[in-house]
Amino acid sequence: MIRLLLLASIAIYTTAANAADKMNVLFIAADDMNCDLSVYGQSQVKTPNLERLAKMGVRFDSANCQQPLCGPSRASLMTGLRPDTLDMHTLAHELRKKNPDVVTLGQLFKNNGYFSYRSGKIYHYGNPSMIGTDANDDPATWTERNNPAGIDKTRENEILNFGPNKGLGISMAVWDPVSKDEEHTDGMVASDVIEQINKHKDKPFFLAAGFFNPHCPYVAPKRYFDMYPLESISMPDLDEAKADLEDVPPMAIGRDSKNWPYYFPDITVEEARRCKQAYYACNSFIDAQVGRLLDALEENDLMEKTIIVFWSDHGYFLGEKGLWYKRKAFERSARMPMIVAAPGLTKGGVSKKPVELLDLYPTLADLCGLEAPENLEGASLRPLLENPANPKWTKPAVTQVWHNRNSWGYSLRTERWRYTEWLEGKAGRELYDHENDSNEVTNLADKAEHAELIAKLSTQLKAFQNLSANKLPGEKKKKQKK
């Protein structure tokens, strides 16, 4: 009997010790957030809490999405597989339909004894139409989940829409109510995740805080709007913007050219300025929620045992080149903020190496000592978290754009160059030198002096191209081991 009690005590102690040794994960997502942030050097847009997070870890300056569209980008990140592998290129809810055996990131943690929890948007949600529902969520990913809905959903009739009255999911629309953060969906998400931190602080957790802002409609409490007086918001000159597009293949801006500028017909510069003001306000609103989450970790003495990841699903245009929204292969659409803070690794680091959103899955599995599926298509960021300038990191980043069977392309990002092919080059190519042209004003693809470079980059890109003029989505699948 004594021996049995002793063995039981050892088992309990061992289980408790193993739980104590496991690293937690706080997984923070923003929606449609570009790098117009003070943490990325745009001092106008105030993000002190993201700056605080960056001092705790590594800021990735060349982080790239797999596809600049919410649904496939998020599915790719959560599976560590490219959109072509998943056969997902649209906003359709088809992750499990097409990939029934896939092991998602949160599911991996759940399978390894973690409390896996989501509040808000991690997989695709229509905004605001699907707020408060499970939308395109994957139940197998989570132990539990929650779908708050604030006044940005319950009072959406008060939102001012400058564009056609075709819904708010893709709109030029703003609202600045006099309100508390916690009255908004994203404030509720932060409060909910804080409650989970307090509740589960003594056992390993994977907590996902999925914020909807700054996705349109651009809604935040008025005090965040007040941080950005309209007269302080500058807009790109439209004549210069139009000139920027003269050397761009038509397919690169096919969705935007009909009603250029600003995507919708008859949007004025002043209306666009108000939307840009509202977008900046939303970014600062999200930053404040990030601060609340960091405070909760500190108050529970969890900073030294929690890996914190902040990411957005892709970048965003705010009038540059006369463009708005995402779904483009330009840097401004493919690049987004990504910060990883891991206890014991680099603090206050900046990496300029090209990385991808799908690198997050193998990174978190690596840092937490979990056995990931064998066929993940990203790579662990541990080498860059140890040395942000690690010379051995030579992997390029690849972003694809898919509109329909006749309109798609792939873009490859190296440390210096962005190279893009539309329909394997049949519909045009783009080459931008980011050492001298960070705004991608001059397309060098037709310059004879770059022919050898283009041939080299094209060969690199072909390794990632699973579509062709004769092969379209749906023809080839890869299986993922559990």
Could you list the active site residues? 70, 124
Q: Any idea how long the chain is?
A: 482
* Spatial distance between the Cα atoms of 439 and 441, rounded to a whole number of angstroms: 6
| E strand segments, 250-390 | 306-312, 317-318, 324-325, 338-341, 349-351, 355-356
Amino acid at residue number 17: A
Which of 378, 325, 336, 316 shows the shortest CA–CA distance to 78?
A: 378
Structural tokens at position 363: 């990174």
Query: CB burial class (10 A; 0-12, 13-18, 19+) of residue 21?
Result: exposed
> What does each C-alpha distance from 131 to 93, 150, 168, 188, 387 come to in angstroms?
15, 9, 12, 12, 40
Backbone angles phi, psi at 56, to 5 degrees: -90, -15
Is the distance from CB of 70 to CB of 254 less than 8 angstroms?
Answer: no
Q: What's the CA gap between 203 and 415, in Å, rounded? A: 40
